[in-house]
Structure 1
Amino acid sequence: MSDQQYKIAKVVVIGQQNAGKSTLIHRIVHGEFAMELTETMGVDFSTKQFPGRKLNIWDTAGQEQFNSLNKAFYRKAQLAFVVFDLSNEDGLQNVSFWMMQATEMIKNDFELILIGSKSDLEQKIGESELKTALQAFNRKFIRVSSKTGEGIDEILHIMKDFDVQDLDPPLVEKDEKQGCC
């Protein structure tokens, strides 16, 4: 019987409603595109495992009425993805709000990355507007398509290699179940 220890890290995926957060998470966790997912109401939860680590991925609803609910789920996050829709001309509109909310609510050190989603669709955000905004935000940016897989490997690489802090004790999983007596 062997024990495996995992460092556990919390990842929050935030952004406006219909930005493609749930579809992105599905692609990351399951390795496939999901054509139809139900809209997240409140919070959804997934896990992605890498050697020596488990990432608990929290998919937060982008609807305004859930903003106060989302705040509780920022606690102890170590990685935050702010997702915005490249195919929506207003896609950049609230990125600074989500960045500010994450910065205010996450009290420990964390990494924040901007994700431009739906790159397979016609881009409605001009390249010069995007470049100017990204310079102002001064954060790493990844252009992704959950449908084609563009950018997914880069996200997986970040998730696999970022520095996991010891905010919680490691989880020990046993290969065999043991009885109560």
Structure 2
Amino acid sequence: MSSRAFPGVGKSCLLLQFTDKRFQPVHDLTIGVEFGARMVTIDSRPIKLQIWDTAGQESFRSITRSYYRGAAGALLVYDITRRETFNHLASWLEDARQHANPNMTIMLIGNKCDLSHRRAVSKEEGEQFAKENGLLFLEASARTAQNVEEAFIKTATKILQNIQEGVVDVSNESFGIKQANVRPQGQPGGRDGSVSTGGGCCS
């Protein structure tokens, strides 16, 4: 799974809240790519989410593009208090669609919803952008943890659904899915039903 977006929208803070259950108010801008992972359970199946946190600065864009390849999902993040971050979504989304697998699941996150008194982008605008572009959508807060868990789990659930419906070919590693020992019946999952989704990035 991968994250992408304008710098300073809180991508790294979202990842830290999801993996470590903590908020770091002062966070240096991501240089290049950072990595996080966490085991979750979806439909009684253990799944390891491997998450690449990519830099939002334009100077790193060519590097971070390579992390779209092999990503099963991506989180596209904007800051609800900064209109310019929302205005750049179309560019980041075009990048993702151009360099990623066409069946990659993309979740749009409006971060910093705890700062609603400083809101510059309405929730309806985020919902509309997501609807027009076939994206999942949530507003979240890395500070309060509101909807952070839900954003990652909802994305992973959609990826698992795509596997079960045959939209994603688990035998093709370019889809960003790795199984731990394939079951004899050919069902997704390992001996214990585990599936690893990752190899991608987040913004």
Matched, 1:75 2:65: no
Task: State the SS of the aligned residue for 1:142.
Answer: strand
Matched, 1:137 2:127: no
Which of 109, 113, 120 pairs up with 1:119?
113
Unpaired segments ≥5 residues, structure 1: 1-10, 173-181
Which of 87, 90, 93 pairs up with 1:96?
90
Task: State the SS of the aligned residue for 1:99.
Answer: helix
Question: More displaced, 46-55 or 22-31?
Answer: 46-55
Q: Is the 8 A contact 1:78 1:108 kept in 2?
A: no
Task: State the SS of the aligned residue for 1:90.
Answer: helix
Q: Tell me by how many angstroms 1:89 deviates.
A: 2.1
Q: Is the 8 A contact 2:110 2:126 kept in 1?
A: no
| Residues in 2 aligned to 1:143 and 1:46: alpha-carbon distance in whole angstroms | 21
Q: Is the 8 A contact 1:76 1:108 kept in 2?
A: no
Q: Tell me by how many angstroms 1:83 deviates.
A: 0.3
Q: Is the 8 A contact 1:16 1:84 kept in 2?
A: yes
Task: State the SS of the aligned residue for 2:151.
Answer: helix
- Which whole-Å deviations, capped at 9, do the CAs of 1:112-155 have from their partners, x for residues lacking one? 11000011112112455445434433422100001111112312
Matched, 1:37 2:27: yes
- The aligned amino acid for 1:170 is Q
Q: Which residue of the partner structure matches residue 40 of structure 2?
A: 50
Seen in structure 2, the aligned counterparts of structure 1 residues 106 and 129 have a Cα distance that, compared at 3 Å, is: closer
Q: Tell me by how many angstroms 1:37 deviates.
A: 2.0
Scaled by the length of structure 2, what TM-score is found?
0.72
Select the structure with the greater relative contact order (CA < 8 A; seq sep ≥ 6). Answer: 2
Matched, 1:62 2:56: yes
Matched, 1:151 2:144: no
Task: State the SS of the aligned residue for 2:83.
Answer: coil
Q: Tell me by how many angstroms 1:95 deviates.
A: 0.5
Q: Tell me by how many angstroms 1:92 deviates.
A: 1.1
| Residues in 2 aligned to 1:159 and 1:132: alpha-carbon distance in whole angstroms | 18
Matched, 1:109 2:118: no
Question: More displaced, 150-159 or 117-126?
Answer: 150-159
Scaled by the length of structure 1, what TM-score is found?
0.80
Q: Tell me by how many angstroms 1:39 deviates.
A: 1.3
Q: Which residue of the partner structure matches residue 194 of structure 2?
A: none
What is the aligned length?
163
Greater helix share, structure number: 2
How well do the aligned residues superpose, as a CA RMSD in angstroms?
A: 2.2
- Which whole-Å deviations, capped at 9, do the CAs of 1:50-103 have from their partners, x for residues lacking one? 243211100110000101101111111001110001011222111011111111
Seen in structure 2, the aligned counterparts of structure 1 residues 96 and 141 have a Cα distance that, compared at 3 Å, is: same
- The aligned amino acid for 1:73 is Y
